């Protein structure tokens, strides 16, 4: 169920990526050419802005009321956002066709209505990203259900499922849109979300032990007699966790929402890795927002062929995920032996260094392949390498954060996710003006130069990370055990 919902979320996000320009054009007046490029980019990246805000509420709320209620609430909001997106501008779209032959005095009203429709659709995409609970809660639920030495396979399943959705989404979305239009893609995704929520309603049970124990305490209170034979009131059943809540005061939820920012600001190591990881991940969106235009305008491919070409990024991502699963622990054990059996979180980072130096080469190749109109295989190969470099760079960083921050790992990870989402929302917005000024080759060379400046960070962490970690109480108190 967790894997299917993760697949559905990625399918919903990615299936509209190659269609973004068509959606904005359909919802915008024909005369407004200038805002179309920026709006189509924002339509893709705004999802990440929603995902930046969602974890700040979803994670602590699940620790207050349990996973079950948060899942159901988030899924219903996700479905509602999809339904509203599917019905966006239906009246104006029908009226615009009938008013095409009418007088010019009706054009301003139509323009305003269409512009409002684009804005509404973009805001609904952000709401969909805000309602994504799978990315935040799936690892937590796996931790609830499985012992530490049994979590590898279920975690791999929840990681691979979104990659499959990312591979199928553009191809399926383009094929459906070519035959029935982009609204059919939106309704297809709504159908998947409804099916996933139906599975959760039928088969999912609460997994968080705090919520389970609180519910058991309430049931014991209800079953207990009102008073004992001596007339004394029945004792109130409570849990140790409720006692901790009372001792912590009434602002615990607020404190948990603020904790990721506190941990982030209190650790230079986390700030450095968050900057590195967020820039690396944002290249996925810089490629996603330019790839359809390049394939259609430079290589003259059909919409279905454009959607199929997105699979190469997922192929590279899946390859790197398999490499990390196979070699991440082996490299760690080998380095531990070389350091007299003393393990350190930094031993997770050698593969990340490989991805960091591979990314600038892949990004520059992508831009110049489009600029010079090289054979399509060069462009697809560069996209595959971007996907491989992204996962090689990020998966070891996630493992490092979990190892280095110990009890603060959840807050640290939330800070990394929020930073990544914010960077992925706004950095791709610079691609359109850069391409207009420098061309594809120059624009992506500039991006490659930026990633090259950050590439030494994993190597610096390998060399000085242990010393830097001691400067923060959040990593100093993590009591790492190899």
Tokens of residue 275, six digits: 């900057």
Would you give the DSSP letter of residue 235? Answer: P
Would 247 be classed as within a structural domain? no
Q: Which domain holds residue 41?
A: 1-97+111-221
> In the listed set 172, 205, 221, which residue is the last one of a domain according to the structure?
221
pLDDT at 284 (0 to 100): 86
> In the listed set 200, 221, 242, which residue is the last one of a domain according to the structure?
221
DSSP string, 421-478: HHHHHHGGGGHHHHHHHHHHHHHHHHHHHHHHHHTTHHHHHHHHHHHHHTTSHHHHTT
CATH classification of the domain holding 368: 1.20.1250.20
Task: Let me know: does 129 contact 54? Beta carbons within 8 Å.
Answer: yes
Would 441 be classed as within a structural domain? yes
State the angle between helix axes of 409-426 and 134-145 in degrees (0 to 180), rounded to the nearest 10.
160
Provide the CB-side half-sphere exposure for 42 (13 A, CA): 13
Residue 192 and residue 267 in one domain: no
Closest CA to 290 of 247, 299, 169: 299
Tokens of residue 245, six digits: 């809540």
Would 479 be classed as within a structural domain? no
Would 250 be classed as within a structural domain? no
Residue 295 and residue 384 in one domain: yes
Would 278 be classed as within a structural domain? yes
Length of the chain: 482
Dihedral, 118, 123, 125, 128 alpha carbons, nearest 10: -150
The label of the residue with tokens 């939106």 reads: 186
Would 217 be classed as within a structural domain? yes
Residue 216 and residue 264 in one domain: no
Residue 127 and residue 5 in one domain: yes
Tens-binned pLDDT, residue by residue, of the chain (482 aa): 999 999 999 899 888 888 888 888 888 765 554 445 677 888 888 888 888 888 888 877 887 788 899 899 999 999 999 999 988 865 444 444 434 433 333 334 444 444 588 888 989 999 998 888 887 788 778 878 877 556 666 777 777 788 788 778 888 888 898 889 899 999 999 999 999 999 999 999 988 887 888 888 778 777 766 655 665 656 667 666 555 555 555 456 666 677 778 888 888 888 999 999 999 989 988 888 888 889 988 999 888 888 888 889 888 988 988 888 888 888 888 888 888 777 788 888 999 999 999 999 999 999 999 999 999 999 999 999 999 999 899 888 887 887 787 656 767 877 888 888 888 888 888 888 899 899 999 999 999 999 999 999 999 998 888 888 887 777 755 544 44
Closest CA to 81 of 34, 128, 120, 149: 128
Q: Which residues pair with 233 in a beta bridge?
A: 227
The SS3 call for residue 375 is: coil
Residue 280 and residue 158 in one domain: no
pLDDT at 478 (0 to 100): 52
Residue 265 and residue 135 in one domain: no
Residue 388 and residue 449 in one domain: yes
Closest CA to 181 of 92, 96, 47, 86: 86
Q: Which ranges constitute the DSSP H helices of 339-373?
A: 350-371
pLDDT at 266 (0 to 100): 83
- Torsion angles phi and psi, residue 249, rounded to 5: 90, 175
Residue 78 and residue 143 in one domain: yes
Between CA 281 and CA 286, with CA 282 as vertex, the angle to 5 degrees is 130
> In the listed set 221, 238, 270, which residue is the last one of a domain according to the structure?
221
Distance CA 341, CA 23 (A): 57
Tokens of residue 416, six digits: 């990394």
Residue 180 and residue 272 in one domain: no
Residue 254 CA: distances (Å) to CA of 245, 248, 345: 13, 11, 30
pLDDT at 322 (0 to 100): 86
The SS3 call for residue 233 is: strand
pLDDT at 481 (0 to 100): 43
Distance CA 207, CA 143 (A): 9
Would you give the DSSP letter of residue 207? Answer: -
Would 230 be classed as within a structural domain? no
Residue 266 and residue 183 in one domain: no
Number of compact structural domains in the chain: 2
Would you give the DSSP letter of residue 294? Answer: I
Distance CA 227, CA 217 (A): 17
State the angle between helix axes of 409-426 and 268-293 in degrees (0 to 180), rounded to the nearest 10.
40
Residue 201 and residue 262 in one domain: no
pLDDT at 396 (0 to 100): 86
Residue 217 and residue 262 in one domain: no
């Amino acid at each position: 169920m967790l894997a299917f919902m993760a697949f559905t979320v990625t399918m919903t996000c990615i299936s509209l990526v190659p269609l973004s320009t068509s959606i904005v054009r359909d919802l915008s007046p024909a005369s407004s050419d200038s805002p179309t490029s920026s709006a189509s980019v924002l339509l893709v990246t705004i999802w990440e802005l929603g995902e930046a805000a969602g974890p700040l509420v979803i994670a602590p709320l699940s620790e207050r009321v349990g996973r079950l209620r948060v899942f159901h609430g988030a899924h219903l909001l996700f479905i509602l956002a999809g339904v509203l997106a599917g019905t966006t501008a239906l009246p104006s779209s029908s009226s615009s066709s009938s008013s095409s032959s009418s007088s010019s005095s009706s054009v301003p009203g139509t323009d305003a209505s269409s512009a409002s429709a684009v804005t509404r659709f973009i805001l609904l995409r952000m709401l969909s990203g805000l309602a994504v609970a799978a990315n935040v809660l799936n690892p937590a639920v796996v931790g609830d259900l499985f012992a530490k030495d049994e979590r590898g396979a279920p975690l791999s399943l929840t990681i691979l499922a979104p990659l499959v959705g990312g591979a199928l989404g553009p191809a399926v979305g383009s094929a459906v849109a070519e035959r029935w239009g982009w609204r059919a893609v939106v309704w297809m995704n709504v159908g998947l979300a409804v099916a996933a929520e139906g599975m959760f309603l039928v088969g999912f049970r609460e997994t968080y032990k705090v919520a389970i124990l609180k519910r058991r305490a309430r049931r014991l209170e209800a079953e207990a007699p009102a008073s004992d034979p001596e007339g004394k009131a029945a004792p109130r059943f409570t849990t140790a966790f409720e006692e901790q809540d009372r001792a912590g005061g009434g602002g615990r939820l607020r404190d948990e929402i603020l904790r990721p920012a506190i941990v982030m600001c209190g650790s230079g190591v986390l700030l450095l890795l968050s900057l590195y990881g967020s820039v690396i991940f944002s290249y996925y969106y810089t490629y996603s927002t330019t790839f359809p235009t390049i394939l259609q305008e430079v290589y003259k491919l059909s919409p279905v062929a454009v959607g199929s070409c997105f699979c190469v990024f997922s192929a590279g991502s899946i390859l790197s995920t398999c490499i990390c699963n196979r070699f991440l622990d082996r490299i760690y054990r080998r380095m531990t032996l070389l350091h007299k059996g003393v393990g350190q979180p930094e031993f997770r980072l050698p593969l990340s260094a490989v991805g960091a130096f591979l990314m600038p080469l892949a990004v520059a190749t992508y831009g110049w392949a489009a600029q010079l109109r090289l054979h399509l295989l060069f462009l697809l190969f560069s996209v595959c390498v971007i996907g491989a470099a992204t996962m090689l760079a990020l998966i070891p960083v996630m493992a490092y954060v979990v190892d280095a921050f110990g009890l603060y790992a959840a807050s640290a990870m939330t800070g990394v996710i929020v930073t990544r989402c914010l960077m992925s929302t706004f950095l791709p917005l610079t691609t359109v003006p850069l391409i207009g000024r420098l061309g594809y080759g120059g624009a992506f060379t500039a991006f490659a130069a930026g990633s090259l400046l950050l590439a030494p960070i994993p190597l610096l962490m390998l060399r000085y990370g242990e010393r830097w970690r001691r400067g923060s109480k959040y990593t100093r108190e993590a009591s790492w055990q190899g």
